[in-house]
Amino acid sequence: MAARMTRQRAAVVEALDELADFRSAQQLHETLRARGESVGLATVYRALQALAEASEVDVLRAEDGESLYRRCARREHHHHLVCRHCGRTVEIDGPTVESWASKVAAAQGFDDIEHTIELWGTCADCRASSKG
Amino acid sequence: MAARMTRQRAAVVEALDELADFRSAQQLHETLRARGESVGLATVYRALQALAEASEVDVLRAEDGESLYRRCARREHHHHLVCRHCGRTVEIDGPTVESWASKVAAAQGFDDIEHTIELWGTCADCRASSKG
DNA sequence: CGAAGTCATGAGAACGATTCTCACGCGGCG
DNA sequence: CGCCGCGTGAGAATCGTTCTCATGACTTCG
Ligand SMILES: [Mn+2]
Ligand SMILES: [Mn+2]
Ligand SMILES: [Zn+2]
Ligand SMILES: [Zn+2]
């Protein structure tokens, strides 16, 4: 049942692999278009959706609500520190946070617990280029 | 320079006070409408926006991207454990998490750090009523 | 009180990211 | 060749949210 690997999907995966940072579907679409790869926007969305379901990419919501995608180095559960200006990303572990989160939720009688933990900031490069 | 307290804004605040849980702008609008208070949807949005800027309400994004609003008991920084079915909310503190977050981000040379930490689950009531 | 100025309201249009529709293309298989 | 299942993509549709703008309410000042 694996999805068919088409030229378009390969292009999306390749673009993700070259880009180390979180990018929106539209940014990826633009990137592909710029390099001559012709891929429809709807197809980019579908590819990202499939990859997300297969845990091949991580998805997070920017502060403005836009979804950002990234092909992370590790497949295991982890979180991110993301530059809100350029998307630069650092993967972070939080064993402490993990146990804290599940403990707190269980103590309140909640089930099916999930957590959203993301850190946002301005990376050193963006700080330097925006002010000095 | 405080915003003018109109009938509409008072109604929004009152609805928020009576509802203990996170609610969307549209849910609040429907609630007001149901109780006979006539308030435009745009006005509800504007009131919530103003309240959020004044830190009178907390805002968070549901998994589907919709914004949810709540008048929290405490004004200080805190996080939430929210039932994804009914919006039931428990305010939580995380001193450990706070220091962990800022430490991690600073270690990577990031500035203007913010964090998003929200816990989602199914509350005891929703679990009981949905299955058994 | 009354006029002018300021801000709030609300109906509907506009927005923007995402999803859906559907006609079409492609490749495999018999 | 004809059939089938699925991927594609252009454009329409969705949906929460914001914007526009004509109108109304409240404040200030004469
Ligand atoms: Mn975690
Ligand atoms: Mn915090
Ligand atoms: Zn940056
Ligand atoms: Zn619940």
Distance (Å) from CA A4 to C1' C26?
12
- A61, β-bridge pairs: A67
Chain A hits for B119, Cβ within 8 Å = 101, 104-105, 110, 113-116
Kindly tell me if the per-residue pLDDT of B116 is higher than 70.
yes
The CA distances from residue A29 to A23, A68, B10, B80, in Å, are 10, 13, 45, 35
Buried b (16+ CB within 10 A) or exposed e, A24-38: bbebbbebbeeeebe
Confidence of residue B44 (pLDDT cuts 50, 70, 90): very high
Kindly tell me if the per-residue pLDDT of B1 is higher than 60.
no
**Predicted pLDDT of residue B105:** 92
Confidence of residue A4 (pLDDT cuts 50, 70, 90): confident
**Predicted pLDDT of residue A5:** 87
Closest C1' nucleotide to B67's CA: D16
Kindly tell me if the per-residue pLDDT of A2 is higher than 80.
no
**Predicted pLDDT of residue A16:** 96
**Predicted pLDDT of residue A3:** 73
Give me the percent of chain B exceeding a pLDDT of 90.
88
| pLDDT tens for each residue of A69-105 | 999 999 999 999 999 999 999 999 888 889 999 999 9
Kindly tell me if the per-residue pLDDT of B2 is higher than 80.
no
What's the whole-number mean pLDDT along residues B33-47? Answer: 96
Give me the percent of chain A exceeding a pLDDT of 70.
97
Distance (Å) from CA A68 to C1' D9?
22
Confidence of residue B131 (pLDDT cuts 50, 70, 90): low
Strands B79-83 and A79-83 turn out to be: unpaired
**Predicted pLDDT of residue A96:** 86
Confidence of residue B132 (pLDDT cuts 50, 70, 90): low
| Cβ(B25)–Cβ(B44) below 8 Å | yes
**Predicted pLDDT of residue A122:** 94
Q: Is B85 on the interface with A (CB under 8 A)?
A: no
- How much distance in Å is there from the Cα of B80 to the middle of ligand 4? 14
> Which residues, at least 6 apart from A85, have a Cβ–Cβ distance to it below 8 Å?
A122, A123, A126, A130
**Predicted pLDDT of residue A131:** 66
Confidence of residue B3 (pLDDT cuts 50, 70, 90): confident
| pLDDT tens for each residue of A107-124 | 999 999 999 999 999 999
Average pLDDT score over chain B: 93
What's the whole-number mean pLDDT along residues B95-101? Answer: 90
What's the whole-number mean pLDDT along residues A42-47? Answer: 97
Q: Which long-range contacts (CB under 8 A, 24 or more apart) does B113-117 make?
A: B113/A119, B113/A120, B113/A121, B114/A119, B114/A120, B114/A121, B115/A117, B115/A118, B115/A119, B115/A120, B116/A116, B116/A117, B116/A118, B116/A119, B116/A120, B117/A97, B117/A115, B117/A116, B117/A117, B117/B79
**Predicted pLDDT of residue B130:** 77
A78 touches strand C (CB under 7 A): no
